[in-house]
Structure 1
Amino acid sequence: MSTSLSINLKRPSKIYYEGDIIAGVVVVECAGEVRHEGLSLAAEGAVNLQLSSKSVGIFEAFSNSIKPINLLNISVELAPPGKIPAGVTEIPFEIPLRPRQAVSPGYPGLLETYHGVFVNIMYTLKCGMKRSFLNKPLNASCQFFVQYKHQEAPAPKPVRCEVTPSSLRAGRGRRGRGGAAGGAARAPMPRFQLYAEIDSTVCALDKPLTGKIRVDECSVPIKSIELQLVRVETCGCADGYSRDATEIQNIQVGAGDVARAREVPLHMVLPRLFACPTTTTVNFKIEFELNIAVIFEDDYLVTENFPILLLRCR
């Protein structure tokens, strides 16, 4: 005789906002009558931090700041000890989504769900059925997603710039870089003049990033023009921190030697879960950047970097 346990949410999107009621049913399916010692449901949320390999040597400085941060912990009893009849039994539940009350200083409240490399913010429903010592307890889990409520959209902040060899030399380490792969690392920088424009560096998560790039002059053929979204995750505290940048997605907006003096549109839809509102807390930060990369045929690379602010707004 087998017994299964599952959680079904009423909201198909599984997206909830602070103050919402998480409603659904716990489904118990069994071939015969099942005796149990209680059925419980818990809503949990936590931030899990992880150090990159380059920070292993200074692990002691992070020993307190990399512990999981508890955001949500609510438990309810669905059924007292008793019996569940054969067949399919649905047990309804409702749990209010609200932040913890008694918290330590620096508690950030409910944060948006986010799946990163070194920072993960996850929310889960966990159901457990206790049974006699001769039978293993049954467990089921279901992930749900938390989002901020939409706020009013701020005024756009467009950015325009010209990229030339002289601007890269003046801003090296600040916004642009040039380089070549392999043995061509010391090859002379080609002559070029690029114009890049981002419609706004303050971006709504539900709307695409847009802009344009134009190649006014280039002394060598172009291999590719790419638009890159990068997350910058910082873990740590005043004693030390680990800051790592990783690429989320890369879109090729120009293939081959693009026509000169012709505008190439930029359009990027932000990925769900892998992007969230820009977040700053005591123990970690989640920031985002946009790179426009021009790769020449000899693999020489020129990148223009734009720090961006992501918001959950209309």
Structure 2
Amino acid sequence: MFCMSGGFRVTGKICTQCSLTDPVGGELTVEASALPIQSIDIHLFRVESILIGEKIATESSLIQTIQIADGDVCRQMSLPIYIVLPRLVTCPTIFAGPFSVEFKVTIAITFVSDVSKKRLKFDPKTPSPWRAVESVPLELVRTN
């Protein structure tokens, strides 16, 4: 369950542990929003880390984006989340000594704003005043 503040409230749930062969599922409900919503996107990231001496080098890669809403959404209506995992860039979550491969799901809500029209570069990792972003870890497991 997640909830965001600042003039709006969004609740929902998303599966944080799933099989590689199953879709990631969940739901999202916009309970209140003072500003109209432009879109709601789900970003799937692959996060690779390695321990080098006493430092951890981490690299995140955006591997998939799913738009679950385009335009302002009805309040109090449940929006389904259904993400089929891409086979070529996903693997089980791995923690092998100094090396790890993890995944995370980021929910990004973009609001209608005159300022957002002036921004040229889209970067899903950088929150902006007209965007709300929430990330949750995703554990992928192999099942027989």
Q: TM-score range by the shorter chain?
A: 0.7 to 0.9
5+ long unaligned stretches in structure 2: 117-129
Identity %: 33
Q: How many residues align?
A: 129
Shift in Å at residue 258 of structure 1?
0.9
Give the Å deviation of 1:162. Answer: 2.0
* 1:197 correspondence with 2:13: yes
* Offset, 1:196: 2.0
- Identify the match of residue 33 of structure 2 among 212, 218, 230: 218
Change (3 A) 1:239 1:162: closer
Query: Greater relative contact order (Cα 8 A, min sep 6): structure 1 or 2?
Result: 2
Task: Select the residue among 85, 101, 106 that pairs with 1:291.
Answer: 106
Name structure 1 gaps, 5 residues minimum. 1-159, 166-190
Query: TM-score normalised to the size of structure 2?
Result: 0.84
Q: Which has the larger radius of gyration?
A: 1
Within the candidate set 200, 203, 206, 2:21 is matched to 206
* Alignment-derived partner of residue 93 in structure 2: 278
Structure 1 Cα separation of the partners of residues 107 and 22 of structure 2? 19
Task: Tell me which amino acid in the other structure corresponds to 2:9.
Answer: Q
State TM-score, norm by structure 1: 0.40
- Contact preservation (8 Å) 1:235, 1:283: yes
Instruction: Report the AA paired with residue 164 of structure 1.
Output: S
- Identify the match of residue 132 of structure 2 among 294, 297, 302: 302
CA distance in 1, matches of 2:134, 2:98: 29
Q: Does 1:267 align with 2:82?
A: yes
Determine if contact 1:237/1:282 at 8 Å carries over to the other structure.
no
Residues 26-85 of structure 1, C-alpha deviation per residue, up to 9 Å, x if partnerless?
Answer: xxxxxxxxxxxxxxxxxxxxxxxxxxxxxxxxxxxxxxxxxxxxxxxxxxxxxxxxxxxx
- Cα deviations by residue, 1:237-286 (Å, 9 ceiling, x for unpaired): 33433112221100000000111110100000000120100011224210
Contact 1:228 1:249 in 2 (8 A): yes
SS in 2 for 1:293: strand
